[in-house]
Structure 1
Amino acid sequence: MHLPEDDGYTLRTMCEGSVEAFELFYERYAPLVMKVALRVLHDRMEAEDVCHDVFLEVLRRGSSYDPQRGSVSSWLAILTRSRCLDRLRKTRRLVQSEQVEPAAELAALTEELVLSRLRKDALVDSLQSLPANQRTAVIGSYYGSQTHRELSTEWNMPLGTVKSLIRYGLNHLRKQMEKRGWAAESDAPRKEVHK
């Protein structure tokens, strides 16, 4: 089948599924589309991607081409330029988000470090305000990693007394942390109960 030189006819025939019409249309307009894309993008691979996208869009929307609004070449040039600008905007957004994310991560990390330091300072102050025997029991149990039984043996003290000192110490520690503005549930030391 030989197609006439009428671009509108070639476009319509191509959109109706003619492989020959597509090949002819591509042969005629690929150089134009590529030239426009290269001029806007200044990158051959990106321009080739846009060229591919443009011809796929022409296949999908070619039937909407209106010859009253301009030539096929003008329509393709505008379509190509538009796709190139879309691609540039998308690339710019990606670059900006990549630059913002590390800054946001750094800010979150810095905030977490500051909060952690403030929490530790509040915990140290709260521990210092405990009666000496309760402070020793809490520190020995939670920070010395000793079992209640080991503390009882080391201090030559009944096991029940050691457990009471730890329990009272933790209650007072929680109250001290609350006075300093820290929720006891997230800041008090945690350890399994040792029998």
Structure 2
Amino acid sequence: MDSPDTLRHQGLRKRLVEGLRIKGIRDQRVLDAIAKVPRHLFMDSSFIQFAYKDQAFPIGAGQTISQPYTVAFQSMLLQLEPNEKVLEVGTGSGYQAAVLVEMGANVFTIERQRELYLKVQQLLPELGYHPKFFFGDGYKGLPTYGPFDKIIVTAGAPVIPDDLLQQLRIGGRMVIPLGPAEKQIMTVITRMGDDDFKKEVFGAFVFVPMLKGTEK
């Protein structure tokens, strides 16, 4: 890799983790994962000096690498148990997938932008992370691989995709930012029965929009 993981990077991550703790991230497994994943290696070199600030940054194809607080918050809301099967909708930079793998999840990640899909398919294994990669429409999920214990959506969805609800196991949780392009409400859907879903809300966020179909 052009930019190895140095003691300086590790120190900056430690400082980032302390900041996340102050902001209310209490799940120690989430904090440990963020302390381990080398976020600077997921970013264009021009942004490396900003890699451990708690901010989102562009990664190409009109997408962003999410703010570390947002990644930590969504990961915490998932309430992951070891070896659970997780569907991530919107691979993006691959950073969120790496955090979930670091937490012991069995990650299936789907991306609609071919440019990002190809890039991350090469990057993550180089860093020692091996989720299962798919190029496709996140609204449709991965029906042949479900049901999933947990589903995480990393783009702002105007509605809850019904296909994703059907791919959630009974007792499973979906974390999804829900709402119009300007602002979404972080929402947790728990599947209580075949047609019984419980909904909880956890504050406002801004994500890039979740789009249908795929981009070549």
TM over 0.5: no
Q: Which has the larger radius of gyration?
A: 1
Greater helix fraction, Structure 1 or Structure 2:
1
Q: Shorter-chain TM-score category?
A: under 0.3
TM-score, with length taken from structure 2: 0.23
- Taking structure 1 as the reference length, what is the TM-score of the superposition? 0.25
Would you tell me which structure has more strand in proportion to its own residues?
A: 2
